[in-house]
Amino acid sequence: MNGAEALLRTLCAAGVDSCFSNPGTSEMHFVAAMDRVAGMRGIPVLAEGVATGAADGYGRMARKPAATLLHCGPGLANGIANLHNARRARSPVLNLIGDLSHTHRPADPPLASDIESLARVVSSWTRVARDVHAVAGDGAAAVAAAMGAGKGIASLVLPSDVCWTEGAQPAVPQVAAPASAVPSSAIARAVEWTALGAQTVLLLGGEALYGEGLAFAGAIARRTGARLMAESAIARIERGRGRPAVARVPYAPAAAIEAMASVGKLLLVGARRPVFSFAGPDGRSRPERTDLEVAVLAHAEEDIPDALARLAAALGCAPSPPHAVSVERVPPATGAVTPASFVQSLAALLPEAAIVVDESVSFGRDLFPHMGGAAPHDWLQLTGGAIGSGMPMATGAAVACPGRRVVNLQADGSALYTVQSLWTQAREGLDVTTVILSNRRYAILFDEMRRVGAAASRTASDLLSLERPEIDWLRMARAFGVEAERADTMAAFNAAFGRSLRARGPRLIELVL
């Protein structure tokens, strides 16, 4: 068999079963091999940022990599922004990047570029397949790298001769490097610190925010009075009724400073020490008190659930699994659209096991704290600050979790980077409800402008407006094959949201702010 088929068989055997594809000539042998090999779902996308963002969303939910199929350096480049987000989220992703054949490259044809340099900026593992005998093993190594401790982005460059040459054999899947256990000293210190109660915060990241990890964290907090928090940008958290309450360090510096003011000891559990997205002219980079003490219970690459289990055992407490609780049910809001009324309706109407993909930016800044009483759900956020992540991420999460409704809270400015996602949602019949939070401008930048001390600017008002002309979101959605409606009151939103949940496949609601 040829190299493409051997690679494909290897990936399937290693459990990779979804491939977000935007192929070109160099990738045609890999595409053709999909005819002969069952087990890989090819999902076409109209732009590479959709492929990589979808792989990010898929990886966050499935905890294994989807493949992306990208065309040469420019194809990879178009996907880098969402790979940047995936890198910050520690999502497992496997990039397959086609390239010119080895003998053709020296002629410097139009598409030749330095793929390796581009890939290394966002990848924890990068390799150019050398020849047809190595390529299947390269694939096995790439999957293991993506699945290894702390997860990561693996980029495999595939010169086309490696794919079309005969004589390859599939490789045996490789075992990913397991996460190492944290040292006992880290557990011992955590026992001491949590004994201090509310002045100690466990800052949770990665696997501390869902499943067993979160259950142990909840038990620890209940037993000791230590508080649970998460970074501003959360890759994935399980929330809703019956789940441990985890506060988030706010995005806005002033609010973050306030939230950290009562924190004397910070125990990092797969999370990074809080940092502002941007520093202003005052030079301050972090929201913490100057006398904050910081220690690590578990690095992101270490075995986080095991560390929390051992800490819980040392404290003599059992994990707190999701449990039924009686929370006062608040009805959906009526009246005007405000952040408060919107989150009230969202919490009331969100279906069980929904996946919320939050790229709500300025309008959504205060939604998160009010979703604790909603039905149990997952919440995924923009992690790397590269906007244009929400719609692709929702697409990938829906591929990973059929049967679960994905609700994409989507700022309009950000949506426009990767709006092509809607077509893939329509094509694959994905159960995604996109709520466009339509304020017709890059609203966050007006805040940021003030904060960094740039004067209120009429040029900025002009350059950051989406009003001239206004985007017609209903036509946009329908152009890509997605049904859409507009809501400008909460009553209209409630009805439209309900209809979207009863429908099969994607829907878009333009919520006029």
d(CA 330, CA 461): 38
Which is nearer to its own copies, 352 or 467 (by Cβ)?
Answer: 467
User: In this complex, which beta carbon is closest to its own copies, that of residue 75 or of residue 206?
Assistant: 75
Please state, in angstroms and rounded to a whole number, the distance separating the CA atoms of residues 165 and 131: 9
Min dist CB 284 to its own copies, Å, is 9
Q: In whole angstroms, how far apart are CA 177 and each of 10, 152, 356, 375?
A: 18, 12, 31, 36
Residue 82 or 200 with smaller CB distance to its own copies: 82
Query: At 509, which helix (H) or strand (E)?
Result: strand 507-512
Q: What is the 3-state secondary structure (H, E, C) of 475-503?
A: HHHHHCCCEEEEECCHHHHHHHHHHHHHC
Output phi, psi for 321, to 5 deg. -70, 165
Strand order in the sheet with 354-359: 237-239, 377-381, 354-359, 406-411, 432-438, 507-512, 483-487
Indicate the residue among 278 and 402 with the shorter CB distance to its own copies. 278
Task: Give the integer Cα–Cα distance in Å for 394 and 414.
Answer: 14
Whichever of 122 and 208 has its CB closer to its own copies, that residue is 122
State the nearest-atom distance from the C-beta of 283 to its own copies, in Å. Answer: 5
**Which pairing describes strands 377-381 and 237-239: parallel, antiparallel, or unpaired?**
antiparallel
Question: Token pair of 161, please?
Answer: 């001769």
State the minimum distance, in angstroms, from the CB of residue 94 to its own copies. Answer: 18
- The minimum distance between CB 174 and its own copies, in angstroms, equals 26
Shortest distance, CB of residue 76 to its own copies, whole angstroms?
A: 9
Least distance in Å: CB of 453 to its own copies?
A: 6
The least distance separating its own copies from the CB of residue 379, rounded to whole angstroms, comes to: 17
**Nearest to its own copies of 221, 419 (CB atom):** 419
Residue 158: what residue type?
Answer: L
- Concatenating the DSSP letter of every residue in 165-227 gives -B-----PPPPPPPPBPPPHHHHHHHHHHHTTGGGEEEEE-GGGGSHHHHHHHHHHHHHH--E
Q: Give least dist CB 93 to its own copies, A.
A: 15
Residue 59: which of 85, 35, 96, 39 has the closest Cα? 85
Closest to its own copies by CB, 114 vs 328, is 114
Q: How far is the CB of 493 from its own copies (least distance, A)?
A: 21
The CA-based dihedral angle spanning residues 431, 491, 380, 22, taken in that order and rounded to the nearest 10 degrees? 40
Q: Closer CB to its own copies, residue 22 or residue 194?
A: 22
| Nearest to its own copies of 322, 446 (CB atom) | 446
Smallest gap from residue 92 Cβ to its own copies (A): 19
Q: b/e for 88-101, b at 16 or more Cβ within 10 A?
A: bbbbbbbbbbbbbe
Looking at the Cβ atoms of 320 and 438, the one nearer to its own copies is 438
Q: 324: alpha, beta or left, given left = phi > 0 and alpha = psi -120 to 50?
A: beta
| Region label for 63, one of left (φ > 0), alpha (ψ between -120 and 50) or beta (otherwise) | left
